[in-house]
Amino acid sequence: MKVRTLFTAFAALFGAAAAHAANPVVVLETNKGDIKIELFEDKSPITVKNFLQYVDDKHYDGLVFHRVISNFMIQGGGYDVDLKERKTRAPIKNESGNGVPNKRGYIAMARTNDLDSATSQFYINVVDNPNLDKGQYCAFGRVIDGMDVVDRIKSVPTGPRGHFESDVPKEDVVIKKARRADK
């Protein structure tokens, strides 16, 4: 009986690890280093599908982190180095309230004041931001490698630039390429 219990415990452990390993992983290759992000497809299927479509379409390639607030988050996915906005697909339904927190190292969708307005822009939390939970901003994954890169990005000097009044890196932080880790 003990062997069966031990076997069941191992099966549960390895089953959970296998399910965990099945989550899609995206690598953002930036001029500051690589950021590897695990996406929680089971918690945010619409958001993950949307994000992966932008990755597969190479939408993020050549875009910048255009908003950097060192005690809050780094945001990208919408503007090129000239701060021209790249065309997006239609907005998606907000899947906040999915149990995934806006904690340090977690990725979430940026949006306007309209709850269901997220398209391609995302942010990575550089501190815990519980005020963004409670049905507001959909976190859908987490950085599994490259938080040192995120921390380098959050430390770049910022100021006004283009049509933005503040928080734009003075030196471009470019997403050279976004790709699925298995490709």
Cα distance between residue 64 and residue 42, in whole Å: 28
Percentage above 90 pLDDT, the chain: 86
User: Please, what are the domains in the chain?
Assistant: 23-180 (2.40.100.10)
Quote the DSSP letter at residue 71.
T
Burial 52-78 (b: 16+ CB within 10 A, else e): bebbeeebbeebbbbbbebebbbbbbb
pLDDT tens track for 118-138:
999 999 999 999 999 988 999
pLDDT tens track for 102-118:
999 999 999 999 999 99
Is pTM, for the whole model, over 0.85? yes
User: Which amino acid makes up residue 97?
Assistant: G
Residue written as tokens 């549960």? Answer: 12
Which residues are paired to 85 by β-bridges? 79
pLDDT band at 16 (very low <50, low <70, confident <90, very high): very low
| 110 closest CA partner among 87, 84, 91, 128 | 91
pLDDT for residue 2: 52
Cα distance between residue 148 and residue 49, in whole Å: 27
pLDDT for residue 18: 47
Residue range 28-51: average pLDDT?
98
Residue range 141-160: average pLDDT?
98
